[in-house]
């Protein structure tokens, strides 16, 4: 992602604004807050009134010639403190008739408040500066939209090419450089894609951050988006997409991409009612990785618990059922689901813990009892 863009919302950084021709032609000099030039410029405002802070919402780059700053040091300190409390991105003062140099009270207060303060040694047209920065902000937002639309296009092509929800989630996980999870509205895991820190299995991430803390808020910077369509009401939720920032921080473009993928999944799940098969495929992937040695003995119990398997102290029995074409997962009748439910219910009736998964490509049902 372009680091000149902010990581909180559509905008550019103070540093980028100072690099644009409009402000650069004014020979800007940073006199305070030089370590905070990565702040987001959400908008630009120009004004000369003492109470201008009341007109701002936060995130603005304020342009002024200083006539509203007052003549007394106390007024100047109050002016800067109020702007800092308002959360503006930076204060830019053009030197000229009002100030040949910025008052010490102004500079000292900006430094103590952590507010970037810039003085311009040449006159610049504020209208042109405002227009230029606003154009940059809008262009940056459009670039984010294009990146999110690219993910949407790739996911759509995957589905049209015969891929399923797991492939869509893998595309999203690759784009976000973080693991992504599809869960039920009550927090039960349906499918996981991507990798955690240092290549860790996503089930390990789920166990540590979600499975044990379903009622707790997700980690700061996470993206949670509802997949609509779970019931008759307009606000019904069928599932939830969760993108966790455990490998790299997430940016606005990642939320945009997740929102678009959620729309795709809503259509797919409503048409095929794939939640049950997705959960079974996730269990099948785990059982296959376990059988082929890709899951260590130390990690296996915790990952199995995430998938709902809580055995006692008895020996474990692995079973593989190879199904005919009429019952094969992904085949059209859904007979495998009837068989899977029957096996699971029978084992539950006699008190035998079981973990059942499917492998559509091989036409197998895997079972650990």
Whether residue 131 is found in the same domain as residue 38: yes
Per-residue model confidence (pLDDT) at position 203 = 81
Q: What single-letter DSSP state applies at residue 324? A: P
Closest listed residue to residue 125, CA positions, set 25, 50, 11 = 25
Residue 1 lies in a domain: no
Per-residue model confidence (pLDDT) at position 268 = 79
- The residue range of the domain holding 111 is 12-139
Per-residue model confidence (pLDDT) at position 106 = 94
Whether residue 246 is found in the same domain as residue 285: no
Domain termination site, one of 272, 294, 328: 272
Whether residue 27 is found in the same domain as residue 132: yes
Residue 5 lies in a domain: no
Angle at the Cα of 191 (from 189 to 193), degrees rounded to 5? 125
Whether 26 contacts 122, CB under 8 Å: yes
Q: What is the C-alpha to C-alpha distance for residues 64 and 67, in angstroms, rounded to an integer?
A: 8
Query: Could you read off the pLDDT of 248-266 as tens digits, one per residue?
Result: 888 888 998 999 999 888 8
The CATH number for 250's domain is 3.30.450.40
Whether residue 289 is found in the same domain as residue 234: no
Domain termination site, one of 211, 239, 272: 272
Q: What is the C-alpha to C-alpha distance for residues 303 and 131, in angstroms, rounded to an integer?
A: 54
Residue 66 lies in a domain: yes
Whether residue 268 is found in the same domain as residue 296: no
Whether residue 100 is found in the same domain as residue 210: no
Per-residue model confidence (pLDDT) at position 230 = 57
Whether residue 169 is found in the same domain as residue 265: yes
Per-residue model confidence (pLDDT) at position 233 = 55
Per-residue model confidence (pLDDT) at position 216 = 63
The whole model's pTM is what?
A: 0.56
Closest listed residue to residue 288, CA positions, set 343, 360, 359, 189 = 359
Strand boundaries in 170-247, DSSP class E: 180-183, 189-193, 223-228, 237-243
Whether residue 21 is found in the same domain as residue 118: yes
Whether residue 223 is found in the same domain as residue 196: yes
The CATH number for 74's domain is 3.40.1390.20
Strand boundaries in 14-150, DSSP class E: 28-32, 40-41, 43-46, 60-64, 90-94, 117-120
Domain termination site, one of 219, 251, 272: 272
Question: What Cα–Cα distance (Å) separates residue 204 from each residue in 87, 207, 363?
Answer: 39, 5, 27
Closest listed residue to residue 168, CA positions, set 200, 191, 197, 145 = 191
Residue 16 lies in a domain: yes
Whether residue 135 is found in the same domain as residue 16: yes
Residue 158 lies in a domain: no
Q: Order of strands across the sheet with 90-94? A: 28-32, 117-120, 90-94, 60-64, 43-46
User: Domain tally for the chain?
Assistant: 3
Q: What is the C-alpha to C-alpha distance for residues 64 and 234, in angstroms, rounded to an integer?
A: 48
Residue 155 lies in a domain: no
Whether residue 250 is found in the same domain as residue 339: no
Mean pLDDT by 10 residues, the chain (369 residues): 43 91 95 93 91 90 92 93 94 93 94 96 95 89 85 89 85 92 85 83 76 64 84 70 88 89 84 66 86 84 81 83 64 61 79 83 81
Residue 150 lies in a domain: no
Whether residue 183 is found in the same domain as residue 81: no
Residue 144 lies in a domain: no
């Amino acid at each position: 992602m372009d680091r000149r863009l902010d990581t909180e919302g559509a905008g550019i950084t103070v540093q980028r604004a100072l690099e644009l021709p409009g402000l650069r032609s004014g020979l800007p000099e940073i006199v305070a807050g030089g370590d905070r030039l990565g702040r987001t410029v959400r908008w630009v405002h120009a004004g000369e009134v003492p109470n201008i802070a009341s007109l701002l919402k936060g995130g603005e780059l304020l342009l002024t010639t200083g006539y509203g700053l007052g003549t007394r040091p106390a007024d100047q300190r109050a002016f800067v403190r109020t702007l800092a409390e308002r959360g503006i991105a930076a204060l830019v003062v053009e030197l000229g008739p009002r100030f040949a140099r910025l008052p010490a009270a102004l500079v000292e207060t900006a430094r103590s408040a952590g507010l970037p303060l810039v003085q311009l040694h040449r006159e610049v047209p504020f209208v042109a500066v405002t227009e230029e920065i606003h154009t940059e902000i809008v262009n940056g937002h459009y670039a984010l939209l294009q990146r999110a639309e690219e993910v949407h296009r790739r996911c759509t092509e995957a589905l049209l090419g015969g891929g399923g929800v797991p492939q869509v989630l893998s595309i999203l996980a690759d784009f976000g450089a973080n693991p992504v999870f599809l869960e039920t509205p009550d927090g039960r895991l349906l499918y996981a894609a991507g990798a955690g820190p240092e290549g860790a299995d996503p089930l390990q991430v789920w166990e540590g951050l979600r499975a044990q803390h379903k009622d707790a808020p997700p980690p700061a910077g996470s993206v949670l988006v509802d997949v609509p369509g779970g019931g008759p009401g307009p606000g019904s939720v069928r599932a939830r997409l969760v993108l966790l920032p455990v490998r790299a921080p997430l940016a606005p473009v990642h939320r945009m991409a997740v929102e678009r993928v959620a729309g795709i999944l809503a259509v797919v799940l409503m048409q095929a009612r794939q939640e049950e098969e997705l959960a079974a495929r996730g269990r099948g992937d785990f059982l296959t990785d376990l059988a082929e040695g890709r899951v260590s003995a130390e990690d296996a119990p915790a990952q199995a618990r995430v998938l709902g398997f809580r055995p006692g102290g008895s020996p474990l029995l692995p079973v593989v059922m190879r199904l005919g074409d009429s019952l094969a997962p992904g085949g059209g009748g859904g007979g495998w689901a009837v068989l899977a439910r029957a096996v699971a219910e029978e084992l539950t009736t006699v008190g035998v813990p079981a973990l059942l998964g499917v492998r559509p490509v091989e036409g197998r049902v895997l079972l650990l009892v």
